[in-house]
Amino acid sequence: MRKRTVALAAAATTLLAACGGDDGGQQAGADGEIAGDITVLTNRTDIVDTVFADYKAAFEEEHPDVTVTFEAITDYEGEVTTRMSTADYGDVLLIPNTIAPADLPDFFEPLGPVDELAETYRFVRGEQAYDGQSYGIAITGNVQGIVYNKTVWEEAGVTEIPTSPDEFLDALGAIADATDAVPLYTNYADGWPLTQWEGHRGTISADPEAANLLAETDSPWAEGEEHFVIDSLLFDAVAAGLTEPDPITTNWEESKGMLGRGEVASMVLGSWAITQMRDAADDPDDIGYMPFPHQVDGTFHSTAGGDYKNGINVNSDNKAAARAWLDWFADESGYATDQGGLSPRLDGPTPDTLADFEELGVEYVELAPAEPGAESLVNDIDAEAEIGLWNPDYRQRIVDAARGASGETKEQVFDDLNARWAEARAAVVGT
């Protein structure tokens, strides 16, 4: 098994070298030899000295000529994007989320044609790809849903998983009546947990094209549209007083323990959060995971997407060794499964964190890539409109409106968002 993968990695490297040769830009290390020192950047400051140290030992045993050094960075996005203005940003690194697809070739080594990699790996089609080339392999994959405390939900007499937003709100109401728990915790103050709601693009329509279709509509917040459904649920829950009383003083780290102790009943978060919640709970079995309360043709759906992707610095001196690490990390390290995520490999195992989803028969939706040339269209419209779909501000505004702090109604907020989107779309597509 191990030998075979080595052979595979070697084959892949040769292929890469060959590709480079075609372009006349032969630069894939010294004869593509897997040797030398490589630096790997990671955001996992918590496990860099434990789990990653084991990875290093296992990898170096296979490739004795390679020495791996880790650099764990707390403010990963901020620091790495700054360092990217130099050539010194490690050999293998997690591609920052803020890199626009069109900028990928300037900073990262192509890993191979998307069509080829897609035979082995998930999440390579739509993410970190440009012009038919893939630039990153996911370290793990996430699906989207709601973490909840099973005991609290049972105490409130809710035993069926809600299948519609109304049922979900009723369930939250029952929790508010029957228990002392906060039915739905938004984590408003930390901000980024609110961006998790955006991950449900595709969950509502069960359409892989959901994200791309945003570029073709003037009113993403019109009734029945994905953003209408997602944001309405948030708005209605807050308006009904089913969220924390003072959103401005929430605290992410505390919220984990609160869910575990049953002081919070549910939170909308990606599947990556399940392991963390279990670790913080007295009884890990209390933590359950349910899909977004919406069904298409009687089936739940959940958007599956890659987490950070490992990419190779285009300035690396030891690209072959870097590639070997990248492949080894995706194929053999077992990182994804250990962290409770979907394996980046199509034939990878399903983690036990998603047992609840298996039971409910949730179908995963992997978002399709945009048409060539339109890769950054949705982002461009979003930036031009200054809505910031992936920014906390946008959903903080919805929460503020819902709790009556800003004096806006749901219609006013949605109308304003639609108007700005339409105007920005005209400006971006029109030019």
Partner 1 sequence: MGITTGPPAGPASGVRQALRRGRAGSRVGTRAARTAPRVGPDGRRRRRVELTPYLFLLVPVGLLVTFTYVPVMNMVGYSFTDWNGISKDRDVVGLANYARIFGGPEYFEVFFVSLYYFAASFVQMGLALYFATVLSFSTRFRNLFKGILFFPYLINGVAIGFTFLYFFRPGGTLDTTLAALGLEALTTQWLGNPDVINVSLAGTSVWRYTGLNFVLFLGAIQSINPHLYEAAELDGANRWDQFRWIILPSIKPVVTLSFILAVSGSLAVFEIPYVMTGGANGSETFVIQTIGLAFEMRPRRVGLASAMAVVLLLFVLLITWIQRKVVPDEKVNLT
Nearest residue to 37 via CA among 63, 18, 11: 63
What are the phi and psi torsion angles at 38 (to 5°)? -125, 145
Around 164, how many Cα atoms within 13 Å sit in the side-chain half-sphere? 5
- Burial degree of 49 (CB within 10 A; 0-12, 13-18, 19+): exposed
Residues in 142-161 at the binding interface with partner 1, rule: CB under 8 A = none
Q: Which of 144, 174, 148, 168 is nearest to 266 (CA)?
A: 148
- Options 382, 413, 417, 421; binder of partner 1; rule CB under 8 A: 382
Specify the residue for token string 């950047």: 41
Q: How many residues bind partner 1 (CB under 8 A)?
A: 36
Write each residue from 191 to 220 as x if it is in contact with partner 1 (CB under 8 A), else as -, in one continuous string: x-----------------------------
CB 275 within 8 A of CB 340: yes
Residue whose CB is less far from partner 1, 33 or 384: 384
Q: Please report how close the Cβ of residue 386 comes to partner 1 at its closest, in angstroms.
A: 7
* Nearer of residues 225 and 380 to partner 1, judged by Cβ: 380
Q: Are strands 129-130 and 137-138 parallel, antiparallel or unpaired?
A: unpaired
> Using an 8 Å Cβ cutoff, are 365 and 212 in contact?
no
Binding mask 334-373 for partner 1 (x = CB under 8 A): ----------------------------------------
Q: Does 245 bind partner 1 (CB under 8 A)?
A: yes
**Does 393 participate in binding partner 1 (rule CB under 8 A)?**
yes
Piece of the chain touching partner 1 by CB under 8 A; list 30-38, 228-236, 361-369, 385-393: 385-393
Please answer whether residues 390 and 379 qualify as being in contact, where contact means their C-beta atoms are separated by less than 8 angstroms.
no
* Residue 299-328 contact track with partner 1, rule CB under 8 A, x = bound: ------------------------------
Angle in degrees, CA 338, 341, 344, rounded to 5: 100
- Is the Cβ–Cβ distance between 92 and 42 less than 8 Å? no
**Residue 78, interface with partner 1 (CB under 8 A)?**
yes
Q: Does 386 bind partner 1 (CB under 8 A)?
A: yes
Span from 139-147, 207-215, 266-274, 388-396 in contact with partner 1 (CB under 8 A): 388-396
The binding site for partner 1 (CB under 8 A) comprises 78, 81, 84-85, 97-100, 102-103, 106-107, 188-189, 191, 245-249, 376, 379-380, 382-383, 386, 388, 390-393, 396, 400, 403, 405-406
